[in-house]
Structure 1
């Protein structure tokens, strides 16, 4: 469930940005949207071939077939990484491997060993992939060139890694590193809950998850529940730390902060829409983008400040290569529809 807003606030559904993982772009980077777009064009999205399990590529953010790969709204850059995956349940693959193994045993009189079964699994995948259903999804990407921030609308680190890997492959002079704050989000969230006060502009809402660090790793979850209670403080005193905490910012944005500084379950409150008019097509895209980036480009630096400010590791650390592509996986929280 999304974070519950303060009294008098109502969440409003927008199409952009459900979750954000925030990266710092190194100081050496020189913003050039056209240059980056030309580089992205070398990795356009193409559907999976009959024997391909997973395909990635850049697609127009507006959804137009031949549209721009970078849309600029109010100085903010918007991109979209599309993916297509062939879905093969492991049970179907294993059944086909068994069928192939029985055929080998009938022909040779011997049961296939481990090495041969691995080869048979590869053969099974080649046989079954052309018949598999495909699933398309997309990950939205937002670059704030002025603040040198890159935000990935991903519900997991693996999906964010896919984006950063593709970006660095397209433009090797785009040094990226996860934002590191001077104080850990878990310690800060614990202090906010203990004091009942969040940083200026933020308000604690009614959802959180507390986790212990002993052998049993006990977990306590609160949903639609006041958090300024003795019970919550007793859990904190016992050594449990927050892994998720619902917050709102200036009665305009609701979200959940995690102990890895991921921003999840983003929702915009009714106060954010005062004076906004509904649009259609491109107008709706521009309005959503302007509203979301306009608010979040102020909220994210305020959140970093509330976590003690950014811990700088220098340009060398920022230029470290992005992680390798994660293997194919099932759908994850926050995945955008194709």
Structure 2
């Protein structure tokens, strides 16, 4: 279900009830692009049912699904059609359209061609973990994540998610792991990474299907090349690639995760949600701990701290995220 993982902190705001959130999202339900419409975004039923619920709760986890449909016409096709109209105007009137009229003709050409354009449809899974005060997006890029966050905040006023930051940056941690030949904790280094030089040459070194515990990799790191991607394995259950921006890409659940589950459940929405959130709900806090804990905003208390709790020293704060619901099947 989740191929990418981008983690946001929900903060102290109270989530609305399921019914209130359902009503809030209903006004932004996804509708397919019209004939001459370039872009359409909105919320759709996670279970894929027509007119189904927009907010699903499985094992205490809220799941949403954001849809994006876009149409595009190649610029050279638009230009060619506009040039044909410009030539017709010149031939019939003897005058050449000016810059503004030319721009308008190109916009007209685009609108005329849009009904013939193929549409591209994509979706982003959204997981709200109220117990850990986390918002997780299955977004492959920051721009797509920004689009989803904007739509969510507009639909549900009061939500104020922010990017999740750790005490140690993923990049510096990955450099240490490569130098040491191991990541630590329940994480193991796999056979893929990318290193980039910060110098003027911007040199890039990539390894794929290659052992990384070698002197050559350590020399690259010692010479100043910093890792931007590193493939990791968590407990032999989840494989993923960690990026310098704290995004988990190419998330895949390994065979050990499915032991004891029946084939009949593999395509079941509830089982997929429980499995995905159950595994990632444990992996994420362990990864955060490996990176030194959450980097708190000045004056903020950890999410797990009770109201009126003790003093927090931001410089050495450590976030103790709760683990996933024990009832979730793994």
**Which TM bucket (shorter chain)?**
0.7 to 0.9
The 5-angstrom pairing of residues 198-217 of structure 1 reads 198-217=183-202
Alpha-carbon distance in 1 for matches of 2:265, 2:216:
48
Q: Which residue of 2 aligns with 1:313?
A: 297
The answer to whether residue 203 in structure 2 is matched with residue 218 in structure 1 is: yes
Q: Per-residue CA shift, 1:76-96, capped at 9, x if unaligned?
A: 111111121123122211211
Q: Per-residue CA shift, 1:25-72, capped at 9, x if unaligned?
A: 021233522211110001111111122100011110010102111111
The answer to whether residue 235 in structure 2 is matched with residue 250 in structure 1 is: yes
The answer to whether residue 31 in structure 2 is matched with residue 46 in structure 1 is: yes
Gaps of 5+ in 2: 301-330
Alpha-carbon distance in 2 for matches of 1:187, 1:294:
28
Q: How far 1:272 sits from its partner (Å)?
A: 1.1
Q: How far 1:314 sits from its partner (Å)?
A: 5.3
Q: Which residue of 1 aligns with 2:304?
A: none
Q: How far 1:114 sits from its partner (Å)?
A: 3.0
Q: Secondary structure at the match of 2:277?
A: helix
Q: How far 1:136 sits from its partner (Å)?
A: 2.0
Q: Which residue of 2 aligns with 1:196?
A: 181
Q: How far 1:315 sits from its partner (Å)?
A: 8.6
The 5-angstrom pairing of residues 251-330 of structure 1 reads 251-279=236-264, 284-313=268-297
Q: Secondary structure at the match of 2:68?
A: strand
Gaps of 5+ in 1: 1-15, 317-338
**What is the RMSD computed on CA atoms of the aligned residues?**
1.7
Alpha-carbon distance in 2 for matches of 1:147, 1:302:
13
The 5-angstrom pairing of residues 1-338 of structure 1 reads 16-279=1-264, 284-313=268-297
Alpha-carbon distance in 1 for matches of 2:96, 2:284:
60
Q: Secondary structure at the match of 1:43?
A: coil
- Over alpha carbons, which structure has the higher Rg? 2
Q: Which residue of 2 aligns with 1:4?
A: none
TM-score (norm 1): 0.85
Return closer, same or farther for 1:315/1:150 CA change in 2, 3 Å cut-off: farther
Alpha-carbon distance in 1 for matches of 2:58, 2:184:
30
TM-score (norm 2): 0.87
Moved more, 261-270 or 128-137: 128-137
Q: Per-residue CA shift, 1:246-282, capped at 9, x if unaligned?
A: 001111100000001110000011111121112269x
Equivalences, count: 300
Alpha-carbon distance in 1 for matches of 2:103, 2:227:
43
